[in-house]
């Protein structure tokens, strides 16, 4: 049996388990037909296992160069120890930078020598927040030195981020994302990792793994605050069996056809029961999130403006045998003026599906809607009581509010700055909401920043104000705003949600086109 390079003994358990199912038969010149058939079956099984082994080796050979070490280092100083002397009395000793975070990243795109690397957002937080003035971010590859490293975008709610850098040696192969395929219980994957080996210039390790369960959460404690900080507390994660060398955050899992299927996250797992268990972000479910990050955008999660609960099995039985779901989500509250209200959703509606995917709980509904994305249409299949029955409702989603404290990074704006003002969905940040319970859903778009010495600043526009009309046209979404200002010239009149009117003059310098094109 050929052993794939970089595979530890324990990594072959799955392979040997498959071999153990091969039939064993006696040989002889006077084989019966049954023995001939059994031998043929054995040969076919062996051929399938050889193909399996070949597929594993090809994945490792083609993807190991795309695996890089992600290291955040912080410098440290120490004053002169008592009783010791330095060349210069009182001088501080500068030690080598020490790693404060270390994990793995995987190369998604290669443009010449420029790499885009997917990794876990929490690994980058000390660098993003600059907890120490000398903190720096490094990418290390067995293919060559990587310089000019920077963060393109980081989304703490999905724990995903994109880092870019320039490689001096030969560029590695880029890795395709799973094309809409979700991990399932029993999915076999190839894990490639161990940042310590990659850091030291050695080839990464490889292990085979099987997905054990779905619906994993970052924390066993369910709370609104935790869910707002991470979508992974809504049951997004996949539990896989992996040894310690592969439990580093960012370790990629590949399908047997070479697509990136998942990314290990070791963020906040205090209740992890099995030391060989790891939680994985399923790439197929988060493809839209990753594509936004690659563009440098903030991730805009979908939002209905509701308070959902769980429709239990007892409740579902009461609805009758025509309802396929064993459990679902029930709507306890709909915010006035919200996307849910405009789309026709009512209190006590039971939501069965979102875009064809079954809904099993209130958390399920929030998760599925969130991953559809703001500004996109969601089709909800609902059961309405009082004899009305099954309905199909379509609604355009708003944006899930983010906590202001989250270290979100975006280097590109979906809606570029216009006349010194930057705008977003009215629910873009928690601080912009009228209250925690959304007693009234805000209208228009919210001003998120105002640049100094610009028409917006001169007109007295302030962060947190809501623009509901622009140039006499109603503004409902950022896309409405973008379309109105695309060809705007001269003075423009803004109407705010409180009725106040503000006039913005023409900027002194020529305006930058909204779409970024000349």
**Which of 394, 442, 417, 399 lies closest to 299 in space, CA to CA?**
399
What pLDDT is recorded for position 145? 80
Distance from C-alpha of 190 to C-alpha of 278, rounded to nearest angstrom: 14
Distance from C-alpha of 424 to C-alpha of 286, rounded to nearest angstrom: 22
Distance from C-alpha of 26 to C-alpha of 36, rounded to nearest angstrom: 10
198-222 residue pLDDT tens: 888 888 999 999 999 998 887 655 4
What pLDDT is recorded for position 390? 92
Average pLDDT over the chain, rounded to an integer: 83
Asked if 1-20+38-77+94-298 and 302-399 have one fold, the answer is: no
- pLDDT higher than threshold 80 for residue 249: yes
37-69 residue pLDDT tens: 666 666 666 677 778 888 899 999 999 989 999
**Contact yes or no for 374/479 (Cβ under 8 A):** no
CA distances for 518 relative to 296, 416, 511, 514, 515, angstroms: 21, 14, 11, 10, 9
Give a three-class secondary structure readout of 293-353. Answer: HHCCCCCCCEECCEEEEEECHHHHHHCCCCCCCCCEEEEEEECCCCHHHHCCCCCCCEEEE
Beta carbons within 8 Å of 28's beta carbon, 6+ residues apart: 35
Cα-to-chain-centroid distance, residue 387: 41
Cα-to-chain-centroid distance, residue 181: 15
Distance from C-alpha of 40 to C-alpha of 416, rounded to nearest angstrom: 66
Comparing 25-34, 67-76, 375-384, 461-470, the range with the smallest average pLDDT is 25-34
Question: Domain map of the chain by residue range?
Answer: 1-20+38-77+94-298, 302-399, 413-504
Distance from C-alpha of 300 to C-alpha of 335, rounded to nearest angstrom: 20
- pLDDT higher than threshold 70 for residue 84: no
Q: Read off the pLDDT of each residue in 174-194 and give the average, rounded to a whole number.
A: 84
Q: Read off the pLDDT of each residue in 141-162 and give the average, rounded to a whole number.
A: 92
Instruction: Give the helix/strand (H/E) hosting 452.
Output: none
CATH (residue range 302-399) = 2.30.42.10
The secondary structure of 386-398 as a DSSP string is: TTTEEEEEEEE-E
- pLDDT higher than threshold 60 for residue 254: yes
What pLDDT is recorded for position 313? 85
Question: CB 124: neighbour CB atoms within 10 A?
Answer: 22
What pLDDT is recorded for position 46? 66
Question: CB 103: neighbour CB atoms within 10 A?
Answer: 25
**Which of 181, 128, 87 lies closest to 411 in space, CA to CA?**
128
Distance from C-alpha of 133 to C-alpha of 74, rounded to nearest angstrom: 8
- pLDDT higher than threshold 80 for residue 21: no
102-118 residue pLDDT tens: 999 999 999 888 999 99
The second-level CATH assignment, the architecture, of 413-504 is Roll (2.30)
What pLDDT is recorded for position 515? 63
What pLDDT is recorded for position 513? 63
Tokens of 375: 């500004």
What pLDDT is recorded for position 90? 41
Distance from C-alpha of 24 to C-alpha of 8, rounded to nearest angstrom: 27
Burial class of residue 212 (count of CB atoms within 10 Å of its CB; 0-12, 13-18, 19+)? middle
Which bin fits 326, alpha (ψ -120 to 50), beta or left (φ > 0)? alpha
The second-level CATH assignment, the architecture, of 1-20+38-77+94-298 is Beta Barrel (2.40)
Output the furthest CA–CA distance in the chain (Å, rounded).
99
- pLDDT higher than threshold 80 for residue 193: yes
């Amino acid at each position: 049996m050929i052993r794939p390079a970089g595979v530890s003994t324990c990594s072959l358990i799955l392979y040997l388990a498959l071999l153990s199912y091969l039939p064993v038969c006696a040989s002889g010149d006077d084989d019966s037909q049954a023995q001939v058939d059994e031998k043929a079956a054995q040969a076919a099984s062996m051929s399938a296992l050889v193909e399996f082994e070949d597929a594993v080796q090809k994945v490792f050979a083609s993807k190991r160069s795309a695996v890089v070490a992600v290291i955040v280092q912080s410098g440290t100083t120490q004053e002169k120890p008592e009783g010791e002397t330095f060349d210069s009395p009182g001088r501080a000793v500068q030690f080598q930078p020490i790693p404060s975070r270390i994990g793995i990243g995987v190369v998604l795109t290669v443009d010449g020598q420029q790499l885009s690397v997917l990794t876990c957002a929490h690994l980058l937080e000390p660098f993003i927040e600059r907890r120490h003035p000398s903190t720096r971010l490094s990418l290390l590859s067995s293919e060559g030195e990587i310089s000019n490293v920077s963060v393109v975008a980081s989304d703490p709610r999905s724990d995903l981020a994109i880092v870019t850098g320039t490689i001096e040696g030969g560029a590695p192969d880029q890795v395709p994302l799973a094309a809409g395929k979700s991990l399932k219980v029993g999915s076999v994957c190839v894990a490639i990792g161990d940042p310590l080996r990659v850091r030291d210039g050695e080839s990464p390790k490889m292990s085979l793994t099987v997905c054990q369960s779905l619906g994993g959460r970052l924390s066993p404690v369910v709370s609104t605050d935790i869910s707002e900080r991470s979508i992974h507390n809504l049951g997004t994660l996949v539990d896989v069996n992996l040894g310690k060398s592969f439990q580093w955050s960012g370790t990629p899992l590949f399908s047997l056809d070479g697509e990136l299927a998942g990314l290990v996250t070791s963020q906040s797992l205090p209740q992890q029961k099995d030391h060989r268990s790891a939680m994985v972000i399923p790439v197929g479910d988060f493809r839209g999130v990753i594509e936004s990050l690659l563009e440098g955008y903030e991730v805009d999660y979908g939002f209905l403006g509701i308070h959902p609960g769980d429709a239990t099995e007892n409740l579902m039985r009461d609805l009758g045998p025509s309802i396929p779901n064993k459990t679902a989500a029930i709507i306890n509250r709909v915010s006035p003026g919200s996307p849910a209200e405009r789309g026709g959703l009512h209190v006590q509606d039971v939501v069965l599906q979102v875009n064809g995917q079954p809904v099993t709980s209130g958390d399920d509904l929030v998760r599925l809607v969130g991953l559809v994305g703001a500004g996109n249409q969601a089709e909800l299949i609902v059961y309405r009581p009082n004899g009305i029955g099954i309905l199909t409702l379509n609604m355009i989603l708003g944006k899930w509010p983010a906590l202001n404290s989250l270290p979100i990074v975006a280097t590109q704006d979906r809606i570029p700055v216009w006349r010194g003002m930057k705008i977003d969905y009215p629910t873009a940040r928690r601080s912009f909401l009228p209250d925690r319970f959304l007693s009234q859903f805000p209208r228009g778009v919210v001003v998120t920043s105002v640049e100094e010495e610009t028409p917006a600043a001169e007109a007295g526009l302030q962060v947190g104000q809501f623009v509901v009309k622009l140039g006499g046209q109603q503004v409902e979404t950022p896309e409405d705003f973008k379309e109105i200002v695309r060809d705007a010239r001269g003075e423009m009149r803004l109407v705010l949600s409180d009725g106040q009117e503000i006039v913005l003059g023409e900027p002194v310098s020529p305006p930058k086109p909204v779409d970024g094109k000349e």
